Amino acid sequence: MKVYQPNEIKNITLMGSAGSGKTTLAEAMMFEGGLINRRGDVESKNTVSDYHRIEHEQARSIYSTVMHVEYNNKKLNIIDTPGLDDFVGGVISSLAVTDSAIMVINTTQGVEVGTQILIRHAKRLNVATLIALNQLDNEKANFEKSIEDLRNRYGAKAVLIQYPVNPGIGFNAVVDVLKMKLYRWKPEGGVPEVLDIPKEEMEHAEELHNTLVESAAENDDNLMELYFNEGTLTEDQMREGIRAGIRKRSMFPIFCVSAKKDMGIRRMMEFVGNVAPSPPDMTGPLTVEGKEIKCDPAGKTSLFIFKNSVEEHLGEVLFFKVMSGKLTEGMDLINSKKGAKERISQFFAVAGKNRIKLSEIVAGDIGAMVKLKETKTNHTLAEKDFGSAYPPITFPDPKYRTAIKALSESDDEKLGELLHRMHEEDPTLMVEYSKELKQIIVHGQGEFHLNTMRWQLTNLYKLETEFLNPKIPYRETITKAAQADYRHKKQSGGSGQFGEVHMVIEPFFEDMAPPSSFKIEGRDILVSHRGTEEHKLPWGGKLVFCNCIVGGSIDARFQPAILKGIMEKMEEGPLTGSYARDIRVSVYDGKMHAVDSNEISFRLAGRHAFSSAFKKAGPKIMEPVYDIEVLVPADYLGDIMSDLQGRRAIISGMSSEMGYEKLQAKVPLSEMNKYSTTLSSLSSGSATYTMKFAEYAPLPGEVQDKLLKEYEAEQKEE
C-alpha cells in the first residue's frame, strides 16, 4: 500500500442518530473505493464495520469501527460510529482524531435529538462538518423538513450542494449546484449519468447556485472582492471558498444520497477528497503544556492512542493517529504515562476486522497495532526526546448506575479484572469499588450501555452476574451544637483501660472563629482554644479538631488517639452508617489514669463521646443532588416535567433549541434509578438527558424518617 503524505489524507467521522444509515453509507464508500467487490448489508450481517457478534444480534452499531479507502489518489480514513447515545464514547474518541465529520440524517426523521447532541460534540471539538441527507429513496422521505430543521440549527451556514429532483420511492436524480449538472442513476446505482440541467429545474438551480457562490465568497476577502467585481466565481474559486468555510465551521455543505442504492456516494467522496480539510490544514494538536505540534513527517515521531479493543483470535488492538513524524517497523517509542519503552513490531491499515500490513505511516494518518505491554487508550507514544504528551480525551459524565455482583463468590476477582479491562476499552464505562456502600457500582451512559457490558461478561467471558439496586452515598452531618462525655473503664487483672473525654461538637462552616464558649441546654461551657487541626475528608467536607485541654487533664500524647476514634465514627455515621462531614469537635476536658490510660482507651472514649454528642446535635442526612438537562420534543414536555416533579426535582430553567425544549433541573440521585428507561418510554425514545453531580443537600424530614426506619430494619435482620 502506498505511503500517503499528510496532504493526501482525509480523516472522517461518520456520525448520526440510530437508523440514519451510517453503516450502509460506509459500506457504499468501501465499495466505491474498491476495498470490497460486493456491498454487504446490516440485515445480512456482512458489513465491513458491524462485525462483532453483539452487533449482529442487535442489528446496530455498538462500537466505533476504523476503515480506510483509497479514492482519487487520496486516502480516506473513515470511522463509523454508533448512533445510540449510550455509546457516545465511540463518537467522542473518533471526533478527537478526525478533521471532518459527515453528519448522516435520515430524511424520514429529519434532525433528531441525537443529531443535536452530535452537533454539540462536533462544535466543541471544532470538527468541520458535512451533511449527508440519506434515505431519499424512502416513501416517507421529507427533504424539505430536513432542510428546515438544518436551517433552524445552522441558519444560512447550511448550504445546499445538491437537491433531489424526485425524492421518494422513485428517487434517482439530483441537481448539483456546484457543478451545475444533473446526476442520474440506474436502479443499481454506482456510476451516474452526468447531464445538463433540465429547463424546468434551471431557475431553481441557478437560485441555489447563486446562494452557494455568495456563501463561498464570504469566507475569503479576496474572493468577496472578486465576486463583487465579476458577479460570480469559477468552480475552482467556489471550491476554495467552500474549503475555507468548512475549516472555519462557517459553512456546512449538504449532499443528497441513498446509501442503500449507492446513489450520490461517488460525488460526495470526490468532494471530500477535493475540499474536506487534510490534517495540515487544521490547527495542530496541543500537548498538555499547550504547545502546538505541527503535522510534519520530518518532526519527532509521536502517536496518540484513541481506542483499544480486544479482538477474537488476535488479542488487544490499539488504534492510533500519527500526530507528528513517521512510524516505521521496529521503532522504539516511550509511553509518556508509564515511562515504559514499547517496540512497534507491526502496524496496519484497517477496515473493520481486515488488516493490511504497513512498513511506514506518516503524520496525520490513522492505523492499528497489536501486542504492546503497557499502552492503552489516551496514552501517548513518542520518541525519547519528544518530551511531552497529548491531553486525554474528555468523555461525558455517566448518567446511569447499577450495582453488580458475580453469582459465584469464587468469580469476584475475575469480575474485578474484567470490569477493569472493559473500562480501558470503553472509558465511558466507570467502575467504582465502594467501601462505603459495600458494592461494586458501574456507571454508564444508559441502561442499554450497561446491559451490553453484562452481555459481554456472560457471552464472551462466561461469567454470570446480577444487577442490584445501587445504594445511595448519603452523608450525615449536624445542625446544632451538642455536648457529651464518655468514660471508658475496663479492669480484668493486671493493667486496665481508662480514658475519659469531654467534647462539644458543632456544624462547621468556613471562616469560623476559634471556639471560646458554648451555651448548650441552658449550660455555659467555656473553653480555651490551644490549637486546630483541619482534615479534608476523602468523601467531601471537613472534620475540624480543636484541642481545648488545659491543666493537663488529658496528656497531649493521647490527642491523636481521640482524633482516631472520632474519625472511625465519621467513617460510619451514627444514623445510617454513611460518611459524616462538616463537623467541628472541641475536646475541652477529661481524665486519665497514671497506669491504666493508653491509646486504645482514649480512642474508644473519643469514639463513644462523639457518637453520643452527634445524636443530640440535630443530626441530618444529606443526599447527593445532580444537575440534569433534558432535551425533549415540545409535545412531550408536560409529561417529562410531571415525572421529574414526582422525583422531587426542582426545575431551574427552560429554553428552546431548534424545535426542542431544554429542561434544566436539580434532582436527588435516589430518585434517578432507571430514569433513562422511563424517559425513553415517556417520549417514545425521542428525548435524552445528561446529569452531573451538583451538591449535597438536606434530606426532607419525612424522607429521612423513612430512611432511618429502613436502616434500622436492615440492622435487625443482620
Q: What pLDDT shows up at residue 230? A: 85
Q: What pLDDT shows up at residue 160? A: 97
Q: How far apart are the first and last CA of the chain?
A: 67
CA distance 420 to 426: 10
Which residues fall within 8 angstroms of residue 233, CB to CB, at 6 or more apart? 213, 216, 217, 223, 226, 227, 241
The grid cell for 529 is: 482554644
Q: What pLDDT shows up at residue 436? A: 87
Q: What pLDDT shows up at residue 7? A: 96
What SS3 state is found at 125?
A: coil
Domains along the sequence of the chain with CATH: 6-199+246-281 (3.40.50.300), 302-382 (2.40.30.10), 408-470 (3.30.70.870), 476-618 (3.30.230.10), 621-703 (3.30.70.240)
DSSP string, 551-600: TTSS-GGGHHHHHHHHHHHHHS-TTTSPEE-SEEEEEEEEE--TTT--HH
Q: What pLDDT shows up at residue 435? A: 87
CA distance 663 to 667: 12
Angle at 85 (CA atoms; ends 82, 91), nearest 5 degrees:
45
Label the pairing between strands 660-668 and 531-536.
unpaired
Q: What pLDDT shows up at residue 463? A: 96
The answer to whether residues 221 and 297 touch, using CB atoms and an 8 Å cutoff, is no
- Helix, strand, coil share (%) of the chain residues, nearest 5: 30, 30, 35
Treating both helix axes as pointing N-terminal to C-terminal, what angle do 412-425 and 447-459 enclose, rounded to 10 degrees?
120
Q: Grid cell 479491562 — which residue?
A: 421
Instruction: Give 10-residue mean pLDDT values along the chain (718 residues).
Output: 95 96 96 94 92 91 96 97 94 97 96 88 94 97 94 91 96 96 94 96 96 93 89 91 94 97 97 96 94 95 95 86 96 92 94 92 96 91 94 93 95 95 94 92 94 95 95 94 95 82 96 93 92 94 95 93 96 88 96 91 96 94 95 91 95 84 95 90 88 93 89 76
CA distance 430 to 476: 26
Q: What pLDDT shows up at residue 311? A: 82
The grid cell for 89 is: 464514547
